[in-house]
Amino acid sequence: MRILQRTVRGLITGPTTNAFRRQISSSTFVQQILPRCTPLQKSRLPLCARPGVTIFTRRFKSGEDLNALFAPVPIEPVEKGAEGDDVGEEFSGKLNRDGVLKVLNTFYRRPEIKRVAEEHGLDTRLFHQSFISFRKYCAKSQYFPPDLHILLSDIVAGAGHVDDVFPYFLKHAKQCFPHLDCMDDLRKISDLRSPANWYPEARKMNRKVIFHAGPTNSGKTYEAMEHFLKAKSGVYCGPLKLLASEVFHKANSRGVACDLITGEERRLSNPEGGGSAHVACTVEMASTDVRYEVGVIDEIQMIRDNVRGWAWTRTVLGMCVDELHICGEASAIELVKEMLLDTGEDLEVKTYKRLTTLTIQDQALQSFDNIRNGDCVVAFNKNDIYAISRNVEKRGFSCAVIYGGLPPGTKLAQAKNFNDPSHEINVLVATDAIGMGLNLSIKRIIFYSLMKPSVNEKGEKELELLSTSQALQIAGRAGRFGTQYESGEVTTFKPEDVSVLKDILAKPVDPIEAAGLHPTADQIELFAYHLPNATLSNLIEIFVSICRVDDSLYFMCNIEDFKFLADTIQHVPLALKTRYTFCCAPISRKQPFVCSMFLKFARQFSRGEALTFEWVTSQLGYPFTVPVTIAELQHLENVFDVFDLYLWLSYRFKDTFPDNERMRMAQRELDEIIHEGVSKITKLIQQVNLNTSDNNLDRLLDMRAQERLGTRTKSVLKEISKVVQGKGKPIPRASGGDEKEKPSPRGSGSSTTGRRPRGSSVPGRK
């Protein structure tokens, strides 16, 4: 069977074009092999070799599109050189500059020249730009190399042929566009078809790999963690700082010394001693060099994430462990099996069932009058969160609020208050941030909307219906085993959404077809060696455009945030590796204030000046006070992210970011202030001069629901934003949905999507 797997895989995933790969996958050879395979054997074949499976196809840029990424290197005309540099003039006399320009224009118009230039990689665009540069060089240079001077003189005098200029033109063109001479080298550097070979230390080991597959609240991670805690050494890799911190505290409370490593924090179990044998870390911070007895990779389904998927790919292929435990959705099983074919390892699968029951209610909530204790209303827009909180508290309930932009400490504090039966808070309003990382005692999940903002492969915002995987992840938080609610319920706010939700939850989870990849710092540095005049953003774009990927297993992650940060600090004088490290910082281009501080940090760093506590806090309005408006609360959330940015950089540039501990203490103070502000979120909304009645706010909520139907979306988002900011006015009711507008690509306000979780990073961050 192993030979069969390798034979088919070699045919389908070798260095071939996508068209040839599809042809092979349906060839007579494969059609003869497949009927002889048992169901188990078929399940072990590559995804692209199985009948009825769609191959994920990467779209490469055409030659002309690719050449458009390369900017010409300016070549300055030559001034008068040293004595003896005018040898050509001594042999053939002074050049007739007008005659030279006429010769060059004739050269440019000749179709034979264009044809030969194309054979050397100069398409129409490159040929034109190279000629403009060459013509300018010839017109303004005070002297030429002797051979060129004599050649031009002969052609002007009618003693030579214009085509003889081509070798000199081609040499000049290659100086303008260095990639013409090194394209083969660039393609070799960006060949990502065998990522398993990037980790030689892991390939020396014969790892035992176990996949714990099951839904939320099935005990799969608990089982893997027991192996972790009983081992002599181990590493836990989670998607969030909250999860890594939870494992850190759990291990130490059970007497297992464990360290915590995230992008912004290092905590040793024994500060006076060395590192512990056990480590809990965010997945980007996992080491592929240190050997452990047991490794645990949590939430493996995130390997398909457009931004962070590369980190799960890296840990699956590169972790040096004797026993690797992978936890997550069953949808990733086949993909992981495929990946392990390249490592020569087998996969043992253990399946788990949900420990408590989850019931889909037939009735929608319809009105906030039907809210009860233990409910969690889930929305995907921060403005919705504010409006829902106000409506719920008008009914006499106290709300906890959790969304992606909140600091981890605030999320934990809100969750703790909600979980405490004796606390006054009895209802939770949240985004999909509750999907992982928090232990919550929820009786019923209520989806306020089934449309979720997302970012596609091109980095564009769009609204899309919740996937089965996303819906199960959120709905599964109801009725957690071991809490006061050991059976869960799920429903929607609007009646028309109930049947849609049932359809979503009834569908099987789509199998994950590809894992993410990302260029490393070393690869980009090699690119820069060949293209010394290219910007970092340009280097990344060229890399992604020409890289070769095994499309049946992998895809290139979205690098728009990275490119944005690279462009932001392009004018700041920094070494390439330093610039790359700065651009790996876990911040989003959707946070203007944080990005402006990022630029200030880079400028200060480039001047060699230390970023002290006093200098940083003077930029942030320290000391902080409890927010009295929503705008102030949002600003403090951004300030918290600036602290995270400083701490992240302080572990990579300790000398220039020296006040790590002072900044951390100030950040903890800020976390408490934000928590206090969130606890009074309804009062913050009431402090705003809404200028609208309760009926008008209800109308806003009705209009917001129409977003799912694609009507009046832009006006809805604009009006809700005005209400929250205190600029709202009475709004007329919708006119039956007759007005048709294009659905907004994403709701206003922020959500967990499109924002890099704290502690995340990209290759090269260690």
Q: Tell me how far CA of residue 428 lies from CA of 368, 416, 418, 660, 675, in angstroms.
A: 13, 11, 7, 34, 15
3-state helix, strand, coil in the chain (%, to 5): 50, 10, 40
Q: Which helix (H) or strand (E) holds 58?
A: none
Dist. CA 639–CA 660, nearest whole Å: 16
* pLDDT confidence of residue 688: 54
Convert the pLDDT of each residue in 691-726 to its tens digit: 444 445 445 444 444 444 343 344 444 444 444 444
* pLDDT confidence of residue 686: 60
Dist. CA 397–CA 371, nearest whole Å: 9
pLDDT tier for residue 195 given thresholds of 50, 70 and 90:
very high
pLDDT tier for residue 581 given thresholds of 50, 70 and 90:
very high
Which position has the higher pLDDT, 34 or 91?
91
Dist. CA 761–CA 757, nearest whole Å: 9
End-to-end C-alpha distance for the chain, whole angstroms: 39
Contact (Cβ atoms closer than 8 angstroms) between residue 569 and residue 602? yes
* pLDDT confidence of residue 22: 38
Residue 188: which residues within 8 A CB-CB, separation 6 or more? none
CA 236 to chain centroid, in Å, comes to: 21
Dist. CA 674–CA 479, nearest whole Å: 29
Lowest mean pLDDT among 286-295, 311-320, 479-488: 479-488
Lowest mean pLDDT among 82-91, 232-241, 744-753: 744-753
Residue 688 is encoded by which pair of tokens? 């705003």
CA 373 to chain centroid, in Å, comes to: 37
The arithmetic mean of pLDDT across residues 159-166, rounded, is 92
Decide if pLDDT at 274 tops 90.
Answer: no
Lowest mean pLDDT among 16-25, 237-246, 343-352, 439-448: 16-25
* pLDDT confidence of residue 679: 87
* pLDDT confidence of residue 481: 86
Please tell me whether residue 70 adopts helix, strand or coil conformation: coil
Q: Which helix (H) or strand (E) holds 640?
A: helix 630-650
The arithmetic mean of pLDDT across residues 586-605, rounded, is 95
Convert the pLDDT of each residue in 505-548 to its tens digit: 999 999 999 999 999 888 999 999 999 889 999 999 999 999 99
Contact (Cβ atoms closer than 8 angstroms) between residue 9 and residue 46? yes
For tokens 């820069």, the residue is 528
* pLDDT confidence of residue 403: 93
pLDDT tier for residue 646 given thresholds of 50, 70 and 90:
very high
Average pLDDT value for the chain: 83
Lowest mean pLDDT among 310-314, 382-386, 566-570: 382-386
Number of H helices and number of E strands within the chain?
A: 32, 18
Dist. CA 498–CA 519, nearest whole Å: 43
Residue 438 is encoded by which pair of tokens? 């928090």
Contact (Cβ atoms closer than 8 angstroms) between residue 95 and residue 156? yes
Decide if pLDDT at 80 tops 90.
Answer: no
The arithmetic mean of pLDDT across residues 584-612, rounded, is 95
Residue 610: which residues within 8 A CB-CB, separation 6 or more? 655, 656, 657, 658
For tokens 């800020």, the residue is 670
Dist. CA 711–CA 734, nearest whole Å: 9
* pLDDT confidence of residue 603: 97
CA angle centred on 629, ends 627 and 635, rounded to 5°: 65
* pLDDT confidence of residue 423: 92
Decide if pLDDT at 42 tops 50.
Answer: no
Dist. CA 30–CA 559, nearest whole Å: 37
Q: In what order do the strands lie in the sheet with 347-351?
A: 266-267, 258-261, 278-282, 234-238, 291-297, 320-328, 208-213, 347-351
For tokens 């929608």, the residue is 364
pLDDT tier for residue 457 given thresholds of 50, 70 and 90:
low
Name beta bridge partners: 350: 212
Convert the pLDDT of each residue in 105-141 to its tens digit: 999 999 999 999 999 989 999 999 999 999 999 888 8
Question: Structural domains in the chain?
Answer: 1-55 (no CATH), 71-176 (1.10.1740.140), 193-351 (3.40.50.300), 357-506 (3.40.50.300)
Burial 443-464 (b: 16+ CB within 10 A, else e): bbbbbbbbbbbbbeeebeeebe
Name beta bridge partners: 351: 213
Contact (Cβ atoms closer than 8 angstroms) between residue 587 and residue 641? yes
Phi, psi dihedral angles at 548 (to 5 degrees): -110, 125
* pLDDT confidence of residue 70: 85
Q: Which helix (H) or strand (E) holds 73?
A: none
